[in-house]
Amino acid sequence: MAENVILEIDDKKYNLPLIIGTEGEKGINILKLRDQTGCIAYDPGFGNTASCDSKITYINGENGIMRYHGIPIEQLAEGSDFIEVAYLLIWGKIPTAQERRHFSDLLTDNALIHENLKSHFEGFPSSAHPMAMLSAMINALGCYHHDLGKIEGEDELGPEQQLEVLAARLISKIRTIAAFSYKMSRGEPFIYPDPNLRYVSNFLHMMFSLPHKHYEAMPEVAKALDMILMLHADHEQNCSTTTVRMVASAGANLFSSVSAGVCALWGRLHGGANMAVINMLQQIHDGGLNAKKCIELAKDPKSDFRLMGFGHRVYKNHDPRARILKGACERLFTKLDHKDPLLDIALELEDLALNDSYFIERKLYPNVDFYSGMILRSIGIPTNMFTVMFAIGRLPGWIAHWREVHEAENMKIARPRQIYTGNKELHYVPMAQRQGVSPIESK
């Protein structure tokens, strides 16, 4: 295999080394491009640019492959759970029974948030979007863990143990913050975490229990939500993870890096799509649109309408997560004998799109957001919290990438270049000299 490529500019040839990934993917190493050629690369949206090398997740968009540290997502979905996958992503290995027990104990011990943090919720209007609250509260949380790792009364922890405490604090407390924001929006009292419940059941308890009525999640419901969190846990250099890595590269702490990731995930083209899918299906159901009209609108270049939950920057084949979630959704609905007309509409839309030349030519398939909202809706999670669920799921991936940036031998602050297309040099004329003269004039 070639070890470099030749670039020719103005009759001059330049040798650029190739970097080859584990699965044979090739990258042209342009670290010295500007020094050697005076040119920079131009790639808005970074569709053709690797911002880093990473060991965490491998995606092959052409073949619909996704693996966490080499393990196919289908196998993890079948036999693992969110906390084991979180551990795998952050520490690069499946935990032993003892390591798993220790990490679970840390999650239990760190489920509460500081009592003073509760008053922060009062500062938000009841209509505040849960993603705005989540981002703000995660940064506020960092103020209560400025030591970011030491446990009061214990010896100084080594970096590995500090990271474990830090990861457990965030993974556990993000759940509490999300549930408390839901309670605040409904004017209901906060329900505290129950140390006897497992991760997802504890979250649903904090969400749906009331002082006079305990909510106990059915095993099928807890498993379906655990599956959603697991499938969302990482996805290599997506927009929000790249945001976390950018902020981390400046030396920012984990809380502020994750808080920035939450903001990026909120975008409707990214994590906000799961909400947009349900709103689109609801619009069809309420008669505002029909499935065929939806498809036509999505194809119309003059319309800014997009078939939400379809298409992907990397997957030009089925998103494996969408396939798994479609099956999980149908199994859960059968088990619960749950009927949702939106699922029938989603299946009709998928069938129409997958048989339409516009979508076929552009390799647009259902992505992770197309079916996830259906499951969340059947559990009773409000639509405006769907992206919060995505954030809870994606948190272990963000932590893993933050760690990878901070532990990189050659950690460099992210600072892209640009192609400037603005004014050429102009001369400024101070006010006193402007008698009918423009304040700036060409030199």
Q: Point out the catalytic residue in the list 234, 312, 319, 401.
A: 312
Question: In the chain, what is the greatest distance between 2 CA atoms, to the nearest angstrom?
Answer: 81
Select the span of 146-154, 215-223, 360-368, 433-441 touching ligand SDX (CB under 6 A).
360-368
**223 or 313: CB nearest ligand SDX:** 313
Q: Of residues 101, 114, 214, 362, which one binds ligand SDX by CB under 6 A? A: 362
The Cα–Cα gap between 222 and 324 comes to: 16
The Cα–Cα gap between 383 and 375 comes to: 11
Identify which of 267, 222, 219 has the alpha carbon closest to the alpha carbon of residue 387: 267
Q: Of residues 264, 273, 278, 324, which one binds ligand SDX by CB under 6 A? A: 273
Q: Of residues 141, 221, 308, 329, which one binds ligand SDX by CB under 6 A? A: 308
The residues, any chain, with a CB within 8 Å of residue 16's CB and separated by 6 or more, are 4, 5, 6, 7, 28, 29, 30, 33
Share of the chain residues as helix, strand and coil, in percent rounded to the nearest 5: 50, 10, 40
* Residue 369 known to be catalytic: yes
406: contact with ligand SDX by CB under 6 A: no
Identify which of 385, 397, 376, 402 has the alpha carbon closest to the alpha carbon of residue 134: 385
Select the span of 8-16, 334-342, 359-367, 433-441 touching ligand SDX (CB under 6 A).
359-367
40: contact with ligand SDX by CB under 6 A: no
269: contact with ligand SDX by CB under 6 A: yes
Q: Of residues 100, 102, 270, 335, which one binds ligand SDX by CB under 6 A? A: 270
Q: Point out the catalytic residue in the list 234, 319, 369, 401.
A: 369
**111 or 246: CB nearest ligand SDX:** 246
Both tokens of 163, joined, read 């990271």
The residues, any chain, with a CB within 8 Å of residue 224's CB and separated by 6 or more, are 328, 329, 332, 375, 379
Residue 44 has what DSSP assignment?
A: G
- Minimum CB distance to ligand SDX, residue 362 (Å): 4
309: contact with ligand SDX by CB under 6 A: yes
Both tokens of 233, joined, read 């846990």
The Cα–Cα gap between 49 and 356 comes to: 30
246: contact with ligand SDX by CB under 6 A: no
**79 or 301: CB nearest ligand SDX:** 301
Site for ligand SDX in 410-439 (CB under 6 A): none
Nearest position to ligand SDX, beta carbon: 311
- H or E stretch including 240? helix 239-249
Select the span of 49-57, 162-170, 206-214, 300-308 touching ligand SDX (CB under 6 A).
300-308
Q: Of residues 167, 191, 298, 379, which one binds ligand SDX by CB under 6 A? A: 298
The Cα–Cα gap between 112 and 118 comes to: 11
Long-range contacts made by residues 13-19, C-beta under 8 angstroms, separation at least 24? 19/53
54: contact with ligand SDX by CB under 6 A: no
- Minimum CB distance to ligand SDX, residue 361 (Å): 9
Identify which of 400, 402, 424 has the alpha carbon closest to the alpha carbon of residue 93: 400
* 322 touches 365 (CB < 8 A): yes
Q: Of residues 311, 320, 373, 396, which one binds ligand SDX by CB under 6 A? A: 311
Axis crossing angle, helix 130-143 with helix 115-122, rounded to the nearest 10:
150
Both tokens of 157, joined, read 């922890």
**164 or 350: CB nearest ligand SDX:** 350
* 178 touches 185 (CB < 8 A): no
- Minimum CB distance to ligand SDX, residue 340 (Å): 20
364: contact with ligand SDX by CB under 6 A: yes
- Minimum CB distance to ligand SDX, residue 284 (Å): 15
238: contact with ligand SDX by CB under 6 A: yes
Question: Which residues of the shown chain bind ligand SDX in the complex (CB under 6 A)?
Answer: 235, 238, 269-270, 273, 298, 306-314, 362, 364, 367-369
**Residues with a known catalytic role:** 312, 369
